[in-house]
Homo-oligomer: A and B are copies of this chain.
Amino acid sequence: MTTKKKIYRDTEQRKEILDLIKSRTDHLTAEYIYKRLKKKFRRLSLGTVYRNLKALKEKGLVWELDFGGGLSYFDGLTSPHYHFICNYCQKVFNIRIPAIKELDYKVRELTGFQVDFHRLEFFGLCDICKEKSKRKK
């Protein structure tokens, strides 16, 4: 089984998708990216967006985030970090705590498994939604 190295070509579409994701700190869905870039590439297709997101993910240039609910979000921040998801507005925020490697060691001790990495997501209310819910009471 020889793993043939996949060669990626440079296309305008791929470049723009990456630029859009990297230009933002929030997290975009394929659908959103499609709608945004449709203005520039009038013949863009959704399939192309999905294909490129997959390619960019394979190259390690973006992260795919899946918090359940059947929707994927794409994150341009690819250094280890965690996420916060607002239970009210569903927005996703980057949490800049460096990855806590000790957690992996602990699980390795407990289970004997080979622990490579972990994912950590926080849930609650973001500052805006927190204010809103306060006013309602």
Contacts and interface: CB of A to CB of B under 8 A. Distances in A.
Identical chains bound together, number: 2
A115 B107 contact: no
Interface in A65-123: 66-70, 72, 82, 84, 86-87, 93, 95-97, 103-104, 106-107, 110-123
Given A84-B111, A95-B107, A97-B110, A123 B117 contact: yes
A113 B89 CA distance: 13
Interface of A: 64, 66-70, 72, 82, 84, 86-87, 93, 95-97, 103-104, 106-107, 110-127, 130
Contacts of A116: 87, 123-125
A73 B18 CA distance: 32
